[in-house]
């Protein structure tokens, strides 16, 4: 059974089909990439999975459970996490607090226990701090743990967003352009972290990315979308040689 199974999903905005009959599968521990030209429907697809959009038709199953109509928060509880194309961190909070929000739904402390602090409130906070510190260590962001997020450079913010998603301890991670706007060095770091997450934690990853070098190197399988339709799928080498994919990216020969 695939960890994520998107079956014949269609999504329409007015008269425009953003997605048409798209099916995608991500197995346990798999790293899958979605590529396609601008406006192909990649982000729309990820939004359907994370619950920001509801597809018009089609079903989405996560570990065998139908999540098509679930609220975003409920999906997070099941083990889905995502990052956003334009960084959507909590800008006024420290890196630590951003990550601790990832632990929010596993915690119990309410207003009273929190306000009194000493006792259960503090115990829980320290326990979660320990978990979060492991992630900080994993992504090598110890030096900025107490920095306010909006003061950080772009590349680091992207890494913090990955860290925040990891704090949810997801089974499936949706990455929407994790390397957009990065320089070569930052891309290499990010690629290493994505591989580490995938291999060490066994997290399935569904990634949208435009950098073909990265996509070809990292992914186990690739899906190609164009104008809301799936035009190809398969292993990197296979997709690269696909005639239709070449047409979509380079245009028809004159």
Partner 1 sequence: MRCGDFRTTYAEDMAIFDSALARGLLAALLVLLVLLPLLATGYWLDVTNRIGIAVIAATGLNILTGFTGQISLGNAAFLAVGAYSTAALTARGVPFLIAVPSSGLISALVGMIFGFPSLRLKGLYLAIATLAAHFIVEFTVVHWESMTGGVNGIGIDPPKLFGYAFDEDRKLYFPILAATVAMLWFAKNLFRTRVGKAFVAIRDQDISAEVMGVAVFRHKLLSFAVSSFYVGVAGSLLAYQARIISPENFPLGVAIDQLGMIIIGGLGSILGSVLGAIFITLLPEALRLLTGALAGSFPGLVQLFASLKLGVFGLAIVLFLIFEPDGMAARWHRIKAYWKLYPFSY
Residues of this chain that interact with partner 1 (CB under 8 A) are 50-52, 72-73, 76-77, 82, 84, 88-93, 97, 100-102, 104-105, 107-111, 113-117, 121-122, 124-126, 129-130, 133, 164, 168
Least distance to partner 1 from the beta carbon of 248, Å? 30
Nearer to partner 1, 91 or 192 (CB): 91
Nearer to partner 1, 116 or 247 (CB): 116
Least distance to partner 1 from the beta carbon of 35, Å? 23
Q: Identify the H or E element spanning 68.
A: none
Least distance to partner 1 from the beta carbon of 45, Å? 16
CA dihedral 119, 121, 127, 132 (to 10 degrees): -150
Q: Which two tokens stand for residue 242?
A: 């696909």
Least distance to partner 1 from the beta carbon of 186, Å? 22
Nearer to partner 1, 130 or 243 (CB): 130
Measured between alpha carbons, how far is 61 from 23 in angstroms, rounded to an integer?
11
- What count of other Cβ atoms lies within 10 Å of the Cβ of residue 157? 19
User: Hunting for tokens 């979308």 — which residue is that?
Assistant: 225
**Biggest distance spanned by C-alpha atoms of the chain:** 73
Phi, psi of 31 (to 5 degrees): -115, 110
Nearer to partner 1, 132 or 248 (CB): 132
Nearer to partner 1, 108 or 243 (CB): 108
In 61-116, which ranges are continuous DSSP H helix?
72-78, 95-101, 111-116
Least distance to partner 1 from the beta carbon of 50, Å? 6
Measured between alpha carbons, how far is 190 from 178 in angstroms, rounded to an integer?
8
């Amino acid at each position: 059974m695939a960890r994520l199974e998107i079956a014949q999903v269609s999504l329409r905005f007015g008269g425009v089909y953003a997605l048409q009959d798209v099916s995608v599968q991500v197995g346990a521990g798999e790293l899958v990439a979605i590529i396609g030209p601008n406006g192909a429907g990649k982000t729309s697809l990820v939004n359907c999975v994370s619950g920001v959009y509801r597809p018009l038709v089609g079903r989405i199953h996560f570990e065998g459970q139908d999540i098509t109509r679930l609220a975003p928060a409920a999906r997070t509880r099941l083990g889905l996490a995502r990052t956003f194309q334009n960084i959507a961190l909590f800008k006024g909070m420290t890196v630590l607090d951003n990550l601790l929000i990832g632990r929010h739904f596993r915690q119990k402390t309410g207003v009273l226990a929190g306000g009194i602090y000493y006792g259960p409130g503090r115990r829980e906070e320290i326990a979660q701090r320990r978990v979060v510190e492991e992630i900080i260590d994993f992504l090598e962001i110890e030096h900025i743990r107490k920095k306010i997020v909006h003061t950080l450079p772009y590349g680091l913010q992207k890494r913090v967003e990955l860290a925040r998603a990891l704090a949810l301890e997801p089974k499936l991670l949706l990455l929407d352009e994790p390397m957009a706007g990065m320089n070569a060095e930052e891309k290499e770091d990010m690629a290493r972290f994505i591989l580490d997450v995938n291999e060490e934690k066994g997290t399935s990853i569904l990634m949208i990315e435009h950098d073909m070098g990265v996509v070809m190197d990292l992914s186990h399988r690739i899906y190609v979308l164009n104008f809301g339709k799936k035009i190809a799928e398969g292993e990197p080498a296979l997709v690269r040689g696909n005639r239709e994919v070449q047409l979509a990216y380079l245009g028809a020969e004159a």
